[in-house]
Amino acid sequence: MSDPAAQKTPAVKEVLFGRANQKIFKDGLWDNNPITYQVMGICSALAVTTSVKTALVMSLGLIFVQGFSEAIIAALRNHIPARIRIIVMMSVVSAFVITLDLVLKAYFYSIWKQLTVFIGLIITNTLVVARLEGFAMHNPPWKSFLDGIGNAMGYGLALTAVSSLREVLGSGTLLGFHVLPRYFYDHGYSNNGLMLLSPGAFFVLGLLIWGHRTIAKYVEGK
């Protein structure tokens, strides 16, 4: 999982935003996108993508949680006993999730009321543990932080794409605004109810993975 460039002992002193670090960040966005390439965090990608708003809040939450928990685990990586590492990871992740939940509750109460269930779900997101275990346990904090926000943003990109399609086709709105003209509905158009059901999310997600892998020319198992 870990990036080969990152494992090499650097001959020259690493720059904070050097090429290697940039690559770590960018990897999660496209080449190693958590949703379409690693196929991680699919449960939440199905659950929160009926509307763009929930998908965006979920992604922002994940960026926060993922970035900081990877940094902290990376800082502790040489002191965590291997046997209990998952428990340590979970407690760090939960701490950030609870912080996020409380901040939202204090300052954005109406959004919190809608999304508290999904925020709690971040803990169960497979992407979080996968990156902690695969990257943060072998890399220094700054790189891990970049990897965390890179992957979470890649996740956010995929979620935004899926949720935009589902919201436009399923409810005819985007971020709650009506985007399909009245004209369509007057002439027999109607919203696609399948898009609002979870099978619809599977189909959209499958098509997204198909598209990404066709463009990236990636074939599994070769």
Partner 1 sequence: MEWVKKILQVSGAPFQKKGPLEKLYPLYEAIDTFVLTPGKVTRKAPHVRDSVDLKRMMVFVIIALIPATLMGIYNTGYQMLLAQRLAPDLWTCVSLGAGKVLPIIAVSYAVGGFWEVLFAVVRKHEINEGLLVTGLLFPLVLPPTIPLWMVAVGISFGVVMGKEVFGGTGFNVFNPALLARACVFFAYPSQMSGAKVWVAVDGYTHATPLGVVSQAAHGVDPVQALATAGYTFQNLFWGLRPGSIGETSTFACLLGLAFLLITRVANWKIVVSCVAGVFTMATIFALFNGPDQPAYFALPVYWHYVLGGFAFGAVFMATDPVSAPATRLGAWIYGFMIGVITVIVRVANPAYPEGVMLSILFMNVFASSIDYGVMMSHISSRNKRNKALSSSRTK
CA angle 65, 123, 82 (to 5 degrees): 90
- Residue 190 sits in the site that holds partner 1 (CB under 8 A): yes
Piece in contact with partner 1 (CB under 8 A), picked from 50-58, 87-95, 125-133, 189-197? 189-197
Closest approach of partner 1 to the CB of residue 193, in Å: 5
Closest approach of partner 1 to the CB of residue 16, in Å: 44
Binds partner 1 by CB under 8 A, chosen from 10, 18, 181, 199: 199
Closest approach of partner 1 to the CB of residue 125, in Å: 27
- Residue 181 sits in the site that holds partner 1 (CB under 8 A): no
- Residue 124 sits in the site that holds partner 1 (CB under 8 A): no
CA 47 from centroid of its chain's CA atoms: 13
Give the count of beta carbons closer than 10 Å to the beta carbon of residue 12: 6
Closest approach of partner 1 to the CB of residue 162, in Å: 16
- Residue 197 sits in the site that holds partner 1 (CB under 8 A): yes
Q: Is 41 left (phi over 0), alpha (psi -120 to 50) or beta?
A: left
Binds partner 1 by CB under 8 A, chosen from 17, 108, 189, 218: 189
CA 71 from centroid of its chain's CA atoms: 16
Phi, psi at 173, each rounded to 5°: -125, 165
Q: How many helices (H) and strands (E) does the chain have?
A: 10, 2
Q: Is 18 left (phi over 0), alpha (psi -120 to 50) or beta?
A: beta
Binds partner 1 by CB under 8 A, chosen from 17, 108, 185, 210: 210
Closest approach of partner 1 to the CB of residue 188, in Å: 5
- Residue placing its CB nearer to partner 1 in the complex, 115 or 195: 195
Q: Taking a C-beta distance cutoff of 8 angstroms, is the pair 180, 172 a contact?
A: yes
Q: What is the contact surface with partner 1 in residues (CB under 8 A)?
A: 188-190, 192-195, 197, 199, 203, 206, 210
